[in-house]
């Protein structure tokens, strides 16, 4: 456990505490909603017979599903693996419980956002001319997706209300991040796997964790680029080669969205406890997160943005698409950089 853990009173959730069943219900429901969303999104976007009559098959609705079908199972799987450390007959560090609940909340909110987006497509009668006999069944499939999202939000609220409050009134929570649980998780898995046992025995976790914490932003960028290339390549294989410029745009947009998602998750979920950095570096990190987060938004709303700028009725070339998304991301990133620097100075 990291050194700064010793500066705080380590709070635990004892065995038999009333918050534990509520927490378990919230986590299981969130995991279930992640599974339902993954199946729902895959069938409605990748099975062409089903997608043909979908009200949410076009942007901006499709952009939301494209991202959530990737992020929700990723976050749900990470939470499920970390939850293996939560033993029913052992006290639980409160920071672990809180961070798992936050991950479950983010996962559930993404499911709810997907359901809300698809309901909006139905209400707007998007692509009405393409609706067919399967469309009513697609719309009906939104009901269980919405139900599990609402149930997850209600259970999360109940679990959080039952958690013990810190003695300082909530100003400081126990320290710790997701990386702190890698070593004990490896030890736990090593008891059941020879391969993991060999890896855990040869790993110097202290150096690994220091390396990851110091270079989290760079590692997140590398992972985002890899994800962008993977998604763009998958689209090219499934729908045909789009041309080098569109391939680059798709890679950039998805890589940007992934980088922003990892940055936001690090702030909200505390994946790797942030190190103290100069004001300019913190501002640059914020600008990068905000700028890349706008890339998928600009892609989804490209035609509305084009009309708002008085440049025509719609974006009708890949060059215009590339220029609009990149210019918008740079503009919002620059604003975020300036606002962060001014706020830090004050």
Residue 174: the pLDDT is: 53
- Dihedral through CA 248, CA 307, CA 57, CA 229, nearest 10? 10
Residue 125 to residues 92, 134, 293, 303, Cα–Cα distance (Å): 48, 15, 28, 18
Left, alpha or beta for 204 (phi > 0: left; psi -120 to 50: alpha)?
A: beta
Residue 234 to residues 56, 70, 239, 243, 322, Cα–Cα distance (Å): 20, 13, 8, 14, 20
Residue 147 lies in a domain: yes
List strand residue ranges (DSSP E) for 26-134, in order: 92-93
Same domain for 126 and 254, yes or no, is no
Reduced to 3 states (helix: H, G, I; strand: E, B; else coil), residue 166 is: coil
Residue 282 lies in a domain: yes
Indicate if the pLDDT at residue 178 is higher than 60. Answer: yes
Residue 108: the pLDDT is: 97
Same domain for 19 and 148, yes or no, is yes
Alpha helical stretches, state H, 169-317: 182-190, 194-202, 205-214, 216-239, 244-269, 279-300, 302-308
DSSP-derived secondary structure letter, 243: -
Reported pTM: 0.87
CATH number of 85's domain: 1.20.120
170-174, 268-272, 340-344: segment of lowest average pLDDT: 170-174
- Dihedral through CA 283, CA 257, CA 300, CA 339, nearest 10? -10
Domain stops at, among 135, 165, 195 = 165
Coarse DSSP helix, strand, coil percentages of the chain, rounded to the nearest 5 percent: 75, 0, 25
Residue 195: the pLDDT is: 57
Same domain for 150 and 71, yes or no, is yes
Residue-wise pLDDT for 3-26, tens only, equals 343 344 458 899 989 999 999 999
- Residue written as token pair 């990190």: 285
Residue-wise pLDDT for 34-45, tens only, equals 999 999 999 998
- Residue written as token pair 């949410």: 56
Residue 7: the pLDDT is: 40
Comparing 196 with 181, the larger pLDDT belongs to 181
Same domain for 46 and 148, yes or no, is yes
Range(s) of the domain holding residue 267:
215-346
Number of domains in the chain: 2
Residue 185 lies in a domain: no
- Percent of the chain past pLDDT 90, that is, above it, reads 57
Q: What is the mean pLDDT of residues 155-169?
A: 84
Residue 326 lies in a domain: yes
């Amino acid at each position: 456990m990291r050194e700064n853990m010793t500066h705080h009173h380590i709070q635990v959730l004892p065995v038999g505490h009333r918050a534990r069943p509520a927490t378990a219900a919230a986590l299981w429901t969130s995991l279930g909603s992640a599974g339902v969303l993954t199946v729902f999104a895959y069938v409605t976007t990748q099975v062409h017979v089903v997608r043909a009559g979908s009200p949410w098959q076009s942007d901006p609705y499709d952009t939301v599903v494209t991202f959530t079908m990737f992020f929700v199972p990723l976050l749900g799987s990470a939470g499920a693996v970390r939850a293996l450390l939560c033993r029913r007959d052992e006290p639980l560090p409160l920071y672990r419980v809180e961070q798992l609940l936050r991950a479950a909340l983010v996962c559930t909110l993404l499911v709810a956002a997907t359901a809300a987006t698809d309901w909006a497509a139905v209400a707007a009668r998007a692509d009405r001319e393409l609706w067919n006999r399967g469309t009513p069944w697609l719309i009906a499939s939104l009901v269980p997706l919405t139900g599990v999202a609402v149930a997850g939000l209600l259970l999360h609220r109940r679990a959080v209300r039952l958690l013990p409050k810190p003695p300082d009134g909530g100003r400081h929570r126990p320290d710790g991040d997701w990386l702190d649980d890698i070593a004990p998780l490896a030890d736990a898995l090593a008891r059941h796997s020879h391969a993991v046992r060999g890896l855990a025995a040869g790993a110097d976790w202290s150096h690994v964790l220091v390396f990851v914490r110091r270079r989290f932003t760079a590692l997140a960028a590398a992972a985002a680029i890899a994800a962008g290339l993977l998604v763009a390549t998958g689209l090219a294989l499934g729908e045909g080669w789009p041309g080098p410029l569109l391939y680059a745009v798709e890679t950039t947009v998805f890589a940007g969205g992934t980088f922003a998602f990892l940055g936001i998750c690090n702030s909200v979920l505390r994946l790797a406890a942030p190190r103290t950095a100069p004001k300019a570096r913190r501002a640059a990190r914020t600008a990068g997160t905000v700028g890349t987060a706008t890339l998928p938004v600009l892609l989804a709303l490209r035609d509305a943005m084009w009309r708002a700028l008085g440049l025509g009725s719609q974006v009708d070339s890949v060059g215009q698409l590339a220029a609009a998304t990149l210019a918008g991301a740079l503009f919002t990133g620059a604003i975020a950089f300036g606002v962060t620097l001014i706020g830090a100075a004050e």
